Structure 1
Amino acid sequence: MVDRTVDRFGGRSLINRRHFLRGSGLLVGGLAAATSVATTSARPAWRSFAALGARQSADTPTPGGTMTWAQELDPVSLDPHTTSNFSAVQAIEHVYQSLTMYDESLNVVPSLAESWEMPNDTTYIMHLRQGVKWHDDSDFTADDVKYSLERLLAPETAGPYATWFNAIKTIDIVDPQTVQFNLDAPFAPLLANFAAMRGSSIIKKDAAENSNLQLEAIGTGPFKMTEYVPESHFTLTKNENYWEEGFPYVDEVTFKILVEEDARVAALRSDQIQYAYLTVEGAERLAGEGNVSVMRSPKAWLVAHFMNTFREPFTDVRVRQAVSLAVNRQEVIDKAVGGAGVLSGPMPTGHQDWFIPVESLPYQQDLERAKALLAEAGLEDGFKTTITCSPQYPEFVAASVVLQQQLAQIG
């Protein structure tokens, strides 16, 4: 069991969460998105799943079968330590695993680490799950954990998420099933960062030297990566030796790379695929289709804009506060994603006392106060800046355009 006598996230909060919101360089756009998922119900293996999702049926899903799903973007690379794009995480998140994971309520729970303890605020002793096998049938051990994290943190890896784990200064192997992390200071988000699967995937020792991690993936997860054809598709096959009893249900899933929503809608209508992520507009186009069920549910997907606090004028807290006060976050949600989202703070629910309920968030638009703060900072005529966003997901661009329009109101 996890030692409940200490903070599960590794220490004590060193800064008040509301003070963090007031002074940070994080401008939360509030798009904790509500997902629209369209599924066809023509194949028996999928029908039960679709019925459960759409009508809360009491029927027991039948294990087995194959499905074809759509993925919006190509993974580009399967290397979990060097890639930063979300589409890569979508491809590998059921192949690789980390030491912890999130449950359905976004609480951090054990994964490859069965339990852990903290003898002090800067030491984590992770007890690894026994009997776990790699997809090549070799044993998972502490050597794999040490290798993975040392590769992630190595400067030559240039891992985009290395900073999430650079509080770890040394890693000791206690025995084949126990590893110890020694930190240079208390670091509260460590276990949550492992669960996020951003740079935290555990790979087999010497995997980078013995295989092409951009195109191959041997993990411990519920599915094996049996084929990856860049810009076309990848196929996941059931791991018969997976450690979580009863999972996975499906024997095989092929993900077709369909970048354009028109292509995803057409493939659903013709039963070429059985699942796709859709925008609000795409979901409306399929409303009333007899063989397609459109399901909506909250999605753990936060769209936020960050201010670079190392670059002027954002080094001045008054400028950051002015920008925040200029933003009407609900308008961003309404215009960028057609209202298919909810206002959210920067911390997910699993971060315990850092999480702020939506009704208690301190966000409000106050243009006059924003202008006054800019004047205090010597910018009464405003300033120019550039909003940089990825074009890969439409909501990123749409949210940035709305933000640009709102900021223009204060100069």
Structure 2
Amino acid sequence: MTRRTRTVALTASAVVIALGATACGGSSSNTSSGAPTKGGTLTILNDGDYDHIDPQRAYTTEASSMDYELVRTLTGWEETGAKPKLVGDLATDTGTPSKGATVWTFHLRHGIKWQDGTDVTAQDVKYGVERAFSPDINGGPPYASQWLAGGDSYKGPYKGRQLSSIQTPDTHTIVFHLNQPVADFNETTAMTGWSAVPKAHDTGSTYDTHVWSDGPYMIKSYSKAKELVLVRNKYWSRSTDPIREQNVDEIDAKFGQDQSAIDQQIKSDAGTGQTAITQTPIAGSDLTSIANDPSLKSRFYKIAAPGINYMAINTRRVKDIKVRKAIEYAVDKTTARGAFGGAAYGDYATSMLAPGIDGHKDFNLYSSDPAGDLTKAKALMKQAGDPKLTMSLAVENIKTQEDFADAVKNALAKIGITVNISPIDKNNYFSTVDNVKNQYDLTWGDWIADWPNASTVLPTLFDGRQIKRLPQSNNDLSYLNDPKVNAQIDKIGKMTDIKQRNAAYGDLDEQIMKDAAVVPLMYMNFSDLGGSKVGGVIDDTIMAEPSLVHVYVTH
């Protein structure tokens, strides 16, 4: 998944992941201490709106974090302890596998209500999952279509069709029949795509602004790219929810302000800034000073993300591997990292699997100097015939990323490549670059594992078969469709020995880097800031976000 970008990714090759795998991250922290207080308004200040909060379309960390205030998922992560713990959310427990983990059964809790007081049923969950198959509901994770039997040809419920591999024998039981064993299917069901949607209130592609709540908060108003206001759902009950609390009266998310202005407003801790928090990363220009300010320590959140900041090279458009390798050597990662905030943002990356992710392997196929190696880059361009190339680079239209784009432009100009920067509206960035109609030569991206295993990274980002299968939500930004890589993804997915599987993923990472399909930039930390009157915030180490499920404001 990314940061306003997807939070997680899971694929068929996750079939042998041990149950209960959890992410690593910073320690839990509060920006205020003491018992939670009730009432008041929490203000969220983000530089851009969520791509989607429709739970079947949400695939960014910020959107998924916000959705947890609105909707319940079959399972979820309870993160108040030393490590995240998978628990039942809508379900009474984490599900029961049978028939070799090809069938999963969940029993729903009694007493969970929609915002109008009606009961949440297994049929609502079935309908919610089914709607994700509709071409109109695009952008979300691909797991349901990959794993549910018959999902490859199902087109959603809007023409009256149901998916027979999802069965609801009664109002509180739902059974999923899979096309293969998936040992950790119950971790997938912690994602928002596995939440309920009442058919009578589904507005299709406009559901983003009409999400029907079974969580502690419901939508009062939503003006896209401007403001989202949530208020208490009076039918939500703490007794049925093992994860969330309902402390504040209102959550007011405001969008569109420059990130640096947001940072300074919260840092000043005056007025609304005292009861505000940001979900979007601290601006690169502010990160070093904020990270090193001892007066901000209690309200500075630095969460180690199991993820990678990278630049994809479109292998369909940049076909000469010598040119792609020249780009690998030419990019100056020191200036790229500087744009994102320097050392506080993360360590330099040489692979797509970050340290701490099962399968990570230490290797470096290109420059040992993070500033690059222009001598080798120029030699490769000469071998390619010294072409004078012009390439497009897609980034979000925010200063941090535009500074990064300038760094890439300056670096590649030194080897004869002219870069035209294509800033894309930050509110729609990933829905734009993930659509195969919008191909760029170079594309900035980042990716956070759903949990720290290679199966949640490499197959999602580099299985070329998804380019055709998911034309509107393709995560293979490098358009790599290497038969050897695809075959290895399938082979690893069938491995039952965990050590063998992890080693194979490390080798696959190296093979992908040999294809020069992507320039890994940094292994990320995500940093956010809150006001002095914001309490109850904990580190969500699954999504590298400040979790708001226990948030409160002091008066």
1:140 to 114, 120, 139: 120
1:179 to 2:160 alignment: no
1:214 to 2:208 alignment: yes
Following superposition of structure 1 onto structure 2, how do residues 356-375 of structure 1 map, counting pairs within 5 Å? 356=360, 360=362, 362=364, 364-365=366-367, 367=373
2:90 to 112, 117, 123: 112
Aligned-residue offset at 1:95? 0.8
- Could you tell me how far apart the structure 2 residues matched to 1:89 and 1:281 are? 27
Aligned-residue offset at 1:389? 1.8
2:145 to 158, 162, 166: 166
* Distance verdict in 2 for CA 1:184–1:211, change over 3 Å: closer
- Could you tell me how far apart the structure 2 residues matched to 1:406 and 1:323 are? 9
- Could you tell me how far apart the structure 2 residues matched to 1:191 and 1:330 are? 40
Q: Which amino acid aligns with 1:225?
A: I
Aligned-residue offset at 1:143? 1.5
Q: In structure 1, the residue corresponding to 2:392 is in which secondary structure? A: coil
Is the CA contact (8 Å cut-off) linking 2:47 and 2:255 kept in structure 1?
yes
Q: Which amino acid aligns with 1:179?
A: I
Cα deviation 1:9-60 (Å, max 9, x = unaligned): 84148xxxxxxxxxxxxxxxxxxx99xxxxxxxxxxxxx95234xxxxxx44
Residue number in structure 1 paired with 2:271 = 271
2:252 to 239, 254, 263: 254
Aligned-residue offset at 1:334? 2.5
Residue number in structure 2 paired with 1:37 = none
- Could you tell me how far apart the structure 2 residues matched to 1:79 and 1:117 are? 27
Aligned-residue offset at 1:210? 9.2
Is the CA contact (8 Å cut-off) linking 1:125 and 1:178 kept in structure 2?
no
1:74 to 2:49 alignment: yes
Aligned-residue offset at 1:190? 6.0
Q: In structure 2, the residue corresponding to 1:385 is in which secondary structure? A: strand
Residue number in structure 2 paired with 1:97 = 72
Q: Which amino acid aligns with 1:137?
A: G
Is the CA contact (8 Å cut-off) linking 1:135 and 1:224 kept in structure 2?
yes
- Could you tell me how far apart the structure 1 residues matched to 2:63 and 2:276 are? 18
- Could you tell me how far apart the structure 2 residues matched to 1:103 and 1:349 are? 24
Cα deviation 1:309-334 (Å, max 9, x = unaligned): 4x1335x6665555444445454222
* Distance verdict in 2 for CA 1:188–1:60, change over 3 Å: same
- Could you tell me how far apart the structure 2 residues matched to 1:361 and 1:112 are? 43
Residue number in structure 1 paired with 2:310 = 304
* Distance verdict in 2 for CA 1:251–1:189, change over 3 Å: same
* Distance verdict in 2 for CA 1:174–1:288, change over 3 Å: closer
Q: Which one is further off, 281-290 or 176-185? A: 281-290
Aligned-residue offset at 1:160? 1.7
Following superposition of structure 1 onto structure 2, how do residues 149-164 of structure 1 map, counting pairs within 5 Å? 149-155=129-135, 157-161=136-140, 163-164=142-143
1:405 to 2:395 alignment: no
Cα deviation 1:233-258 (Å, max 9, x = unaligned): 32223444143347233333222335
Aligned-residue offset at 1:259? 1.5
Is the CA contact (8 Å cut-off) linking 2:16 and 2:184 kept in structure 1?
no
* Distance verdict in 2 for CA 1:361–1:186, change over 3 Å: farther
Is the CA contact (8 Å cut-off) linking 2:335 and 2:404 kept in structure 1?
no
Q: Which amino acid aligns with 2:166?
A: D
Is the CA contact (8 Å cut-off) linking 2:125 and 2:194 kept in structure 1?
no
* Distance verdict in 2 for CA 1:50–1:353, change over 3 Å: closer
Aligned-residue offset at 1:70? 2.0
Following superposition of structure 1 onto structure 2, how do residues 385-404 of structure 1 map, counting pairs within 5 Å? 385-391=391-397, 393-404=398-409
* Distance verdict in 2 for CA 1:370–1:211, change over 3 Å: closer
* Distance verdict in 2 for CA 1:200–1:303, change over 3 Å: farther
- Could you tell me how far apart the structure 2 residues matched to 1:136 and 1:346 are? 46
Q: Which runs of 5+ in 2 are unaligned?
A: 1-10, 18-24, 152-162, 417-555
Aligned-residue offset at 1:147? 1.2
Cα deviation 1:289-323 (Å, max 9, x = unaligned): 999975241264753323334x1335x66655554
Q: In structure 2, the residue corresponding to 1:136 is in which secondary structure? A: coil
- Could you tell me how far apart the structure 2 residues matched to 1:342 and 1:90 are? 22
Following superposition of structure 1 onto structure 2, how do residues 42-61 of structure 1 map, counting pairs within 5 Å? 49-52=30-33, 59-61=34-36
1:205 to 2:199 alignment: yes
Q: Which amino acid aligns with 2:54?
A: D
Residue number in structure 2 paired with 1:18 = none
Is the CA contact (8 Å cut-off) linking 1:10 and 1:186 kept in structure 2?
no
Q: TM-score, normalised by structure 2?
A: 0.52
Residue number in structure 2 paired with 1:39 = none
Query: RMSD between aligned alpha carbons?
Result: 4.5
- Could you tell me how far apart the structure 1 residues matched to 2:184 and 2:415 are? 35
- Could you tell me how far apart the structure 1 residues matched to 2:401 and 2:98 are? 43
Is the CA contact (8 Å cut-off) linking 1:153 and 1:162 kept in structure 2?
no
Q: In structure 2, the residue corresponding to 1:133 is in which secondary structure? A: coil
Aligned-residue offset at 1:341? 0.8
- Could you tell me how far apart the structure 2 residues matched to 1:252 and 1:372 are? 60
- Could you tell me how far apart the structure 1 residues matched to 2:52 and 2:317 are? 35
Q: Which one is further off, 289-298 or 237-246? A: 289-298
Aligned-residue offset at 1:172? 2.0
Cα deviation 1:186-205 (Å, max 9, x = unaligned): 678866655454x5554233
Following superposition of structure 1 onto structure 2, how do residues 11-26 of structure 1 map, counting pairs within 5 Å? 11-12=15-16
Q: Which one is further off, 132-141 or 182-191? A: 182-191
